[in-house]
């Protein structure tokens, strides 16, 4: 009977757990609200980028590399370094502005190209060429003819466009050890650009026939394996564009897709077909580039008033075909692209955005910016007497 009349024991409420749960819920809701505001509200995003993420930096807060007064220096960013070529010396500087390596490079008028940790340097209209891997010279070579353009893929395979021979253009390919693999001779067309696939299996050549009254562009796909033994029978595909379309740039992307930039359109070659992805018709396009990872970018000027215009940056994902937009209430002087970084030179400001359409850094100067060099992780703002370093 006693058990029957005994009052049940009251459960104790854990106040501490309840308070912690409420606090966690509030934090999660606050984060969701802030993220939504950051995505949808441009003024809030700009304030957050400046005040919280510190993405805006001024000219007086960056590391500086001083250039020799009265000496012209060639400046190029690659990998984690700013390279400065002067008097046959290539000096490599890190993010703090300190010199990390100095390489003997017998080149006075260079043409550069970089990918991943590789930098290829050739003598413009000369014969000398070097491949730099990180901070070391991997190999050097002399070619027959005159170097017009150089290219290296992310694995260190090099292609060079050669002029000044009995052919209109010659394309020569080297492996990462500097072994010459083959030459492709173009007797009636001029090579405009080259690209090597990420799996090292294919060489793409963009060339133009200007011998007749009609301009004819081609994109040739060469099997590197076949070309090593039989160069004349190594062409796997030859994509011929519409008449009077001038090819400017090409770039191999993942899955062996080739992005092709013409003067009036941007197209993609995949699965044996070339498809137009962007048409410049009826648009005021001021700049565009296909030199990005699995994306291309176009910049369109749109009127925002009687005497004003906005610059709309359209970033197109090659994989999903989706377009991301980044709008600036000013005119863009120049763009530079590398990897996942798009550089927008506005004059006294430079904006670095990524292929996701988000601001990475904003550089504010007290003078006009004339030139910029950029890699995936570092950029150099080039002036007459100095280079200012931006870490991305």
- Distance of alpha carbon 273 from alpha carbon 217, whole angstroms: 16
| CA nearest to 118, candidates 90, 156, 82 | 156
- Number of H helices and E strands in the chain, helices first, is 4, 33
C-alpha gyration radius of the chain: 27
- Distance of alpha carbon 130 from alpha carbon 11, whole angstroms: 78
pLDDT confidence of 12, banded at 50, 70, 90? low
Average pLDDT over residues 42-47: 70
CA 368 distance to own-chain centroid: 23
pLDDT at 286 over 70: yes
- Distance of alpha carbon 177 from alpha carbon 37, whole angstroms: 51
Whether pTM > 0.85 for this model: the answer is yes
3-state helix, strand, coil in the chain (%, to 5): 15, 50, 35
HEC sequence for 83-112: EEEECCEEEEECCCCCEEEEEECCCCCEEE
pLDDT computed for residue 340 by the predictor: 95
pLDDT confidence of 251, banded at 50, 70, 90? very high
How far is CA 28 from each of CA 23, 107, 388, rounded to the nearest angstrom? 9, 58, 40
Mean pLDDT across the chain: 90
| CA nearest to 276, candidates 294, 291, 298, 259 | 259
DSSP calls for 226-282: HHHH-GGG-EEEEEE--TTPPEEEEEE-GGG-EEEEESSEEEEEETTEEEEEEE-TT
Average pLDDT over residues 281-291: 92
pLDDT computed for residue 136 by the predictor: 96
- Tokens representing 278? 């962007």
Average pLDDT over residues 130-150: 96
Query: Do residues 188 and 211 touch, judged by C-beta distance below 8 A?
Result: yes
Average pLDDT over residues 274-295: 93
pLDDT computed for residue 260 by the predictor: 97
pLDDT confidence of 297, banded at 50, 70, 90? very high
Average pLDDT over residues 354-379: 93
pLDDT confidence of 1, banded at 50, 70, 90? very low
How far is CA 137 from each of CA 46, 101, 146, 277, rounded to the nearest angstrom? 43, 11, 21, 39
- Distance of alpha carbon 355 from alpha carbon 314, whole angstroms: 10
- Cβ neighbours of residue 146 under 8 Å, at least 6 residues apart? 125, 126, 127, 162, 163, 164
Average pLDDT over residues 14-20: 75
148-176 pLDDT, tens digit per residue, is 999 999 999 999 999 999 999 999 999 99
pLDDT confidence of 40, banded at 50, 70, 90? low
């Amino acid at each position: 009977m006693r058990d029957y009349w005994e009052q049940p024991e009251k459960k104790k409420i854990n106040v501490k757990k309840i308070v912690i749960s409420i606090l966690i819920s509030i934090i999660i809701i606050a984060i969701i609200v802030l993220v939504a505001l950051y995505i949808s509200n441009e003024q809030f995003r700009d304030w957050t980028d400046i005040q919280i993420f510190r993405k805006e930096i001024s000219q007086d807060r960056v590391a500086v590399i001083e250039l020799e007064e009265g000496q012209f220096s060639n400046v190029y960013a690659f990998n984690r370094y700013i390279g400065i070529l002067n008097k046959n010396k290539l000096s490599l500087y890190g993010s703090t502005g300190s010199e990390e390596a100095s390489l003997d490079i017998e080149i006075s008028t260079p043409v550069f190209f970089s990918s991943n940790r590789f930098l290829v340097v050739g003598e413009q209209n000369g014969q000398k060429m070097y491949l730099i891997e990180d901070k070391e010279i991997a190999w050097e070579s002399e070619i027959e003819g005159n170097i017009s353009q150089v290219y290296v893929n992310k694995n260190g395979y090099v292609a060079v466009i050669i002029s000044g021979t009995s052919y209109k253009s010659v394309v020569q390919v080297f492996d990462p050890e500097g072994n010459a693999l083959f030459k492709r001779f173009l007797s009636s067309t001029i090579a405009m650009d080259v690209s090597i696939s990420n799996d090292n299996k294919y060489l793409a050549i963009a060339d133009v026939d200007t011998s007749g009254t009609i301009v004819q562009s081609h994109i040739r796909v060469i099997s590197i394996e076949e070309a090593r033994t039989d160069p004349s029978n190594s062409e796997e595909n030859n994509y011929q564009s519409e008449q009077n379309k001038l090819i400017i740039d090409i770039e191999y992307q993942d899955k062996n897709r080739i992005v092709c930039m013409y003067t009036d359109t941007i197209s993609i070659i995949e699965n044996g077909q070339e498809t137009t992805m962007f048409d410049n018709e009826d648009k005021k396009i001021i700049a565009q580039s296909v030199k990005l990872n699995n994306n291309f970018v176009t910049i369109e000027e749109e009127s925002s008033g009687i005497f004003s215009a906005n610059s709309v940056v359209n970033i197109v994902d090659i994989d999903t075909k989706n377009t991301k937009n980044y709008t600036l209430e000013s005119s863009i002087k120049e763009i530079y692209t590398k990897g996942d970084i798009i550089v927008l030179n506005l004059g006294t400001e430079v904006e670095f955005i990524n292929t996701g359409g988000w601001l990475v850094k904003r550089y504010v100067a007290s003078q006009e910016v004339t030139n910029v060099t950029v890699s995936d992780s570092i950029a150099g703002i080039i002036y007459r007497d100095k280079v200012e370093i931006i870490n991305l």
